[in-house]
């Protein structure tokens, strides 16, 4: 561990993620875990340049400009975590991916650049430069990269220049580190191919205490549930395409969608076009603490991932959260999601056709005994999936790299 002021332990953590926008992101669980084992965590995160309620373009530009001048950085302490939040500049995606974190380094408080930490843990490839600079300055003796995703395949990599910048930046983030904590076995294999020698696999966990209460069911109609971001890759449209077939067999079936995103309008239009207004509920984004009530009134968790490169490398937090809550899972054959369901026997794996999805959904909704068995298997499989248990090997890894 990092030693400072005698026996007092401290660690520096840098993540390119917004605390307010993504409170359930893996990296915040990493910070909470470290806070339980270190005397102090200094946590640098980012926020959008504006980040307020919808306003006119001119007002937004003026407010963003004022934020750059007067509110570019915020600091506060929460128990033993010292938060430093830096507003990101609104740059073209290519420049943001290539060098946006040079701005972060510029805005960091002067006192931090004079500190000394044994270890800096960082996440997101867009933090590769700032962490490299801090090591060269002597602020961090060694770097550990939390390899939480395969970023070049995400929307941030749209366009050839942006993709090239992010691919190069991610590789630099991994290869400059003394150790890499990869979220999945395929991602760890990729890092080893890139020349990283010290790699450990730490999958995503769950907040088990928050989910065990969801296992007590409340009266409800036959219900399929999706919780998460509404983007094209997550396959919510596949469930909508299959729902008319499900409704033929189970007329009172209901599909509850909890979440938001840029694909929501298209999904709502599809539901209307298919005549599903009375069978589908779009509930919007909800705080993590409110999800229990939705899970208690559901029978099956839906995670119909499409064939996308980043999903191949991902660790399926959504699937594990469904399972920890005692929900059987309906998912597709890709990456770690397929592996988890095969290992646990906690749900159905399907092809991406309306007929296959509908057949599996009907099977799950009509067979109470099968659902009960899958739920039991799911709970058993995730009994050690709490973040504190999953992240425990990180402490030894930090000390030995």
Q: What is the DSSP string of 344-373?
A: HT-EEEE-SSHHHHHHHHHHHHH-HHHHHH
User: CATH number, domain at 68?
Assistant: 3.40.50.11010
- Say yes or no: 180 and 243 in one domain: no
Partners of 206 in the β-ladder? 386
Q: In whole angstroms, what is the distance from residue 186 CA to residue 189 CA?
A: 5
Token look-up 């050690």 returns: 384
Q: Do the beta carbons of residue 346 and residue 327 sit within 8 Å?
A: no
Q: In whole angstroms, what is the distance from residue 313 CA to residue 12 CA?
A: 27
* Structural domain containing residue 228: 208-381
First and final CA of the chain: distance in angstroms? 11
- Say yes or no: 198 and 218 in one domain: no
- Say yes or no: 221 and 191 in one domain: no
- Say yes or no: 26 and 134 in one domain: yes
- Say yes or no: 173 and 255 in one domain: no
Is pLDDT above 70 for 206? yes
Q: Could you give the number of structural domains in the chain?
A: 2
pLDDT in tens, 133-162: 999 999 999 999 999 999 888 755 567 788
Query: What 8-state DSSP symbol labels residue 386?
Result: B
Q: In whole angstroms, what is the distance from residue 180 CA to residue 398 CA?
A: 10
- Say yes or no: 240 and 188 in one domain: no
- Say yes or no: 372 and 394 in one domain: no
Q: Is 48 exposed, middle or buried (0-12, 13-18, 19+ CB in 10 A)?
A: middle
Q: Which residue has the higher pLDDT, 284 or 209?
A: 284
Partners of 121 in the β-ladder? 13, 144
- Say yes or no: 57 and 171 in one domain: yes
The token pair at 245 is 């077939």
Residue 19 has a pLDDT of 64
- Say yes or no: 225 and 76 in one domain: no
- Say yes or no: 13 and 100 in one domain: yes
pTM of the complete model = 0.87
Our measurement of the distance from residue 317's CA atom to the centroid of its chain's CA atoms, rounded to an integer in Å, reads: 7
Average pLDDT over residues 280-300: 92
> Assign residue 79 a region: left if phi > 0, alpha if psi is -120 to 50, beta otherwise?
left
- Say yes or no: 122 and 214 in one domain: no
Q: In whole angstroms, what is the distance from residue 363 CA to residue 246 CA?
A: 10
Is pLDDT above 60 for 57? yes
Is pLDDT above 70 for 67? no
Q: Is 319 exposed, middle or buried (0-12, 13-18, 19+ CB in 10 A)?
A: buried
The token pair at 331 is 């998912």
Is pLDDT above 50 for 372? yes
How much is the mean pLDDT over the chain?
90
Q: Which residues of 171-188 are buried (b: 16+ CB within 10 A; e: fewer)?
A: bbbbebbbbbbbbbebbb
**Strand residue runs (E) in 88-215:** 117-123, 140-147, 179-182, 199-201
- Say yes or no: 189 and 212 in one domain: no
Token look-up 């592996």 returns: 339
Residue 156 has a pLDDT of 52
User: CATH number, domain at 373?
Assistant: 3.40.50.2000
């Amino acid at each position: 561990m990092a030693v400072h002021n005698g026996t007092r332990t401290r660690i520096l953590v840098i993540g390119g993620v917004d605390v307010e926008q993504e409170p359930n992101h893996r990296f915040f669980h990493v910070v909470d875990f470290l806070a339980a084992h270190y005397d102090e965590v200094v946590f640098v995160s980012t926020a959008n340049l504006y980040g307020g309620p919808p306003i006119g373009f001119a007002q937004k530009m003026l407010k963003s400009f004022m934020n750059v001048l007067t509110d570019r950085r915020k600091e506060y302490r929460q128990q033993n975590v010292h938060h430093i939040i830096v507003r990101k500049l609104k740059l073209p995606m290519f420049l943001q991916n290539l060098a946006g974190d040079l701005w972060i380094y510029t805005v960091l408080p002067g006192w931090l650049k004079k500190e000394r930490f044994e270890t800096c843990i960082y996440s997101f490839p867009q933090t590769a430069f700032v962490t490299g600079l801090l090591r060269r300055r002597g602020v961090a003796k060694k770097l550990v990269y939390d390899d939480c995703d395969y970023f070049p395949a995400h929307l941030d990599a749209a366009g050839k220049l942006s993709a090239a910048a992010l691919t190069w930046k991610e590789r630099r983030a991994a290869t400059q580190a003394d150790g890499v904590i990869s979220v999945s076995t395929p991602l760890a294999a990729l890092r080893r191919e890139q020349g990283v020698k010290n790699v450990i696999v730490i999958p995503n966990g769950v907040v088990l205490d928050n989910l065990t209460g969801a296992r007590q069911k409340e009266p409800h109609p036959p219900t399929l549930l999706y919780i998460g971001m509404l983007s094209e890759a997550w396959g919510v449209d596949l469930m909508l395409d299959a729902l008319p077939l499900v409704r033929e067999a189970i007329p009172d079936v209901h599909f509850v969608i909890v979440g938001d995103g840029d694909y929501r309008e298209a999904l709502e239009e599809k539901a209307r076009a298919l005549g599903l207004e009375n069978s589908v509920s779009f509930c919007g984004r909800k705080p993590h603490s409110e999800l229990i009530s939705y899970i208690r009134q559901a029978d099956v968790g839906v995670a119909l991932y499409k064939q996308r490169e980043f999903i191949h490398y991902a660790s399926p937090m959504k699937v594990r959260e469904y399972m920890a809550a005692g929900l059987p899972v309906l998912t597709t054959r890709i990456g770690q999601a397929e592996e988890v369901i095969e290992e646990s026997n906690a749900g159905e794996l399907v092809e991406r056709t309306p007929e296959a999805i509908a057949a599996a959904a009907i099977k799950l909704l009509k067979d109470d005994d099968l659902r009960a068995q899958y739920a039991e298997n799911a709970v058993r499989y995730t009994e050690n999936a709490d973040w504190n248990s999953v992240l425990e090997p990180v402490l030894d890894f930090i000390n030995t790299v």
